[in-house]
Structure 1
């Protein structure tokens, strides 16, 4: 009898969960804005480019444009590569079950960090920031500022929160998270990425 009830409960759960997920309208489709969160509309989102460039008169408009483009395209490309679903928590579950290659927040942030670092920015600086650190609810994003500017003044770039659709806002205006900077994590992740790139170069040279 216990087995029978458990089986029915399991079937019912798997039947209801997809319906609940479908009932949650993705924010980028409904046109809603949550607090001060914004969703980039394209790789050439004028609002995002303008807000980045407005951080300081020292910022190159071209660098602001390239950062906005790279952040948007990173979300678009990885959304397809990782077969990302809505809600992000569902994607997390699939990754942890081995059913998806990627899609955890730190993976989104790391991929974006590496791609932005490759731009060799001269007037902009990258920051690794985190919220609810060392808990099950930890979230990581990349923040961009002018060179030497405090991360709290910057613009955060988040591809995880809306499942690969680029979310951005001023750090201090985020209605959902309180952020702290982790400089050592930034250095660690960039160092690891550069080591991997160097190893690939060495392997290529040996094979030739």
Structure 2
């Protein structure tokens, strides 16, 4: 009887301890999520907070390049929203594009058009990255991430014009509560090669580049 009671209390103590450990892990995880920086809207093409964040990505970043990158990301979203007659929510725009009712507005098209414009800046102190989340699924999403030259992808800032239909959303690539971002260097290399090849063969008087279905 005494042995049976000891076993009972031992099992109960172990269960209580395990429960406390699980609760502590959950609390720690919740606290970590609260400490994540959210993805926020850029307030303007000259948003001082975003400009500062890009300029301070690494010691060697040129503040003027940071200003140009932010301005380009912001204005690209606004211009394409008008050009593609973008509707909210993004899923509706995706449907319209896929049925031929709109020419653009898929996430990879937003990212590609931004890549075109940022690449044209010939940045020397900033580096561009192609980021993807949930690749190969119906939830796949693509954005451009910017870092200091040679800086790890994980320390970069994402530029997302698709998520809010042309309004530039930005934030730390590892602090996004909605997506898990991974770098795809092969995709970046391929897209840049096509972009630069098309640019080299385009007449200098041509209008602004329009995303093709093949990009």
**TM-score bracket relative to the smaller structure:** 0.7 to 0.9
Does structure 1 residue 105 correspond to structure 2 residue 107? Answer: yes
For the residues of structure 2 that align with 1:203 and 1:72, how far apart are their CA atoms? Answer: 24
3-state DSSP of counterpart to 2:174: helix
1:51 shift after superposition: 0.6
3-state DSSP of counterpart to 2:38: coil
Q: Are residues 202 and 121 of structure 1, via their aligned partners in 2, closer, same or farther at CA, if it must alter by over 3 Å?
A: closer
Instruction: Summarize the alignment of residues 35-184 of structure 1 with structure 2, pairs less than 5 Å apart.
Output: 36-184=38-186
* Structure exhibiting the larger radius of gyration computed from Cα positions: 2
For the residues of structure 2 that align with 1:48 and 1:128, how far apart are their CA atoms? Answer: 19
For the residues of structure 1 that align with 2:117 and 2:200, how far apart are their CA atoms? Answer: 15
Which runs of 4 or more aligned residues in structure 1 lie more than 2 Å from their structure 2 counterparts after TM superposition? 201-204
User: What is the RMSD of the two structures over their aligned residues, measured on CA atoms?
Assistant: 1.6
Q: So what's the TM-score if we normalise by structure 2?
A: 0.77
Q: Does the Cα contact within 8 Å between 2:37 and 2:171 map onto a contact in 1?
A: no
1:203 shift after superposition: 11
Which structure 2 residue ranges, 5 or more long, are not aligned? 1-35, 207-215
Which structure 1 residue ranges, 5 or more long, are not aligned? 1-33
Q: So what's the TM-score if we normalise by structure 1?
A: 0.79
* 1:19-66 Cα deviation digits (max 9, x unpaired): xxxxxxxxxxxxxxx960110111111111011111111100000000
